[in-house]
Amino acid sequence: MTLCGQPVDLPPPLAGFTVAVTADRRREELCALLERRGARVVQAPAVRIIPLPDDTACLEATRRCLRAPLDFVVATTGVGFRGWLSAADGWGLARPLLGRISAARVMARGPKARGAIRAAGLTEEWSPASECAAEVLSHLLEIGVAGLRVAVQLHGDPQPDLVSGLREAGAEVIEVPVYRWAPPVDMDPLRRLVDLVTTRQVDAVTFTSAPAVTSLLDTDPSGEVLSALRDDVLAACVGPVCAAPLQRLGVPTAQPARGRLGALVRTVVDELSGRRSQPLRVAGHTLAVRGHAVILDGELVQPPPAPMALLRALARRPGRVLSRAELLRELPRGADGHAVEMAVARLRGALGDPQIVQTVVKRGYRLRVDHANGEPAGRTCGSTWRTWTSSART
């Protein structure tokens, strides 16, 4: 592979970026997928899944299901449906429960629930394309549920809209609470993540459940996390149900077309290394600024934090002169004008070419952006760069 005619080794597509993982279940798998693509990963589980105490609520709901035939069964998650059958097996009720479910019309909220249904030897009648409980409700209301018995397997949270909608339509609804969400045992990683997000030291936060979103926002009463997610930090959600709490608060989200971890990681790659890391031609070099690093002529360079902060500021306004006072605001509190000069010197040393950051006498500093015929010279090799980043994502 070449970049503007020069051979380069491709850095991983997420090299230089920091990505936070808020998931508990399958956390190791998601972290491994991100790290394999070069990301620096911050683990901060926002919720944990715990069984209901002594399973008494689930047991009583199961017994209610066995008292009379069921007309509909709604499976909302794969892990929840499997957990329900496993708990029933422990109580010696698996065979009669499977009999009741197999005689009913089974609805699967999404593909994971559908897979769990089939693994149990059952067959679902219908599953919504959107994977949303709202579409399940609409479908059941179209069929008509007045006077019918409907079992709804809950997935950690109550489903007030689904349950109340069915009851208002005249159905007898049996809520089956298989597991619920709870705060993490150790809150320190989540509190540290709040600090990292508010200071923009992470580039993206991944969410695999709506309760994880709520938990992170509740940990920050100041609202600074919400502000960061609205402006600078990418909120990557596994699907529309997960993204809904953020979207209601005006936070833009990135979502994959399919609710899978691999697809979520590809979405993060596309957003960070594609849309949020556009290359510049500076002093004869190709430069792309990432979260805590820079890709310079196809190589990953990691300046110290203070010089990197100045480079991010300069790259946000390529070619524009930034005064020492403007750059000073990018440094930790207490720094003075001399600290700006020291950070610029260290940045030039890290980049290996002092011409990249140009001193403008009595005004400040700027990136020495190349121009050709009035256009940034970086565009002359834009197609090569797009090919390079596309190859790096695979």
Instruction: Specify the higher pLDDT residue, 336 or 236.
Output: 236
Mean pLDDT of the chain, nearest integer: 89
CA distance 58 to 343: 60
State pTM to two decimals.
0.76
Rounded to 5 degrees, φ, ψ at 11 are -70, 155
Q: For residues 303-308, give the mean pLDDT.
A: 93
Structural fold of domain 2-47+185-275: Rossmann fold (3.40.50)
CB atoms within 10 A of CB 231: 10
Residue 390 has pLDDT above 50, yes or no: no
Query: Are 18 and 199 a contacting pair, CB within 8 Å?
Result: no
Each domain of the chain, given as residue ranges in start order, spans: 2-47+185-275, 50-182, 280-393
Q: For residues 352-371, give the mean pLDDT.
A: 93
User: Which whole-number Å values give the CA distances from 296 to 10, 99, 379, in the listed order?
Assistant: 11, 64, 16
Same fold, 50-182 and 280-393: no
Could you read off the pLDDT of 33-91 as tens digits, one per residue? Answer: 999 999 999 999 999 888 777 789 999 999 999 999 999 999 999 989 999 999 999 99
* Strand residues in the chain grouped as ranges (E): 2-3, 6-7, 18-21, 40-43, 48-51, 72-75, 105-108, 149-156, 172-182, 204-207, 234-237, 253-254, 280-282, 285-289, 294-296, 299-301, 357-360, 364-367, 371-372, 375-376
Structural fold of domain 50-182: Rossmann fold (3.40.50)
pLDDT value at residue 361: 93
pLDDT value at residue 224: 96
Structural fold of domain 280-393: Arc Repressor Mutant, subunit A (1.10.10)
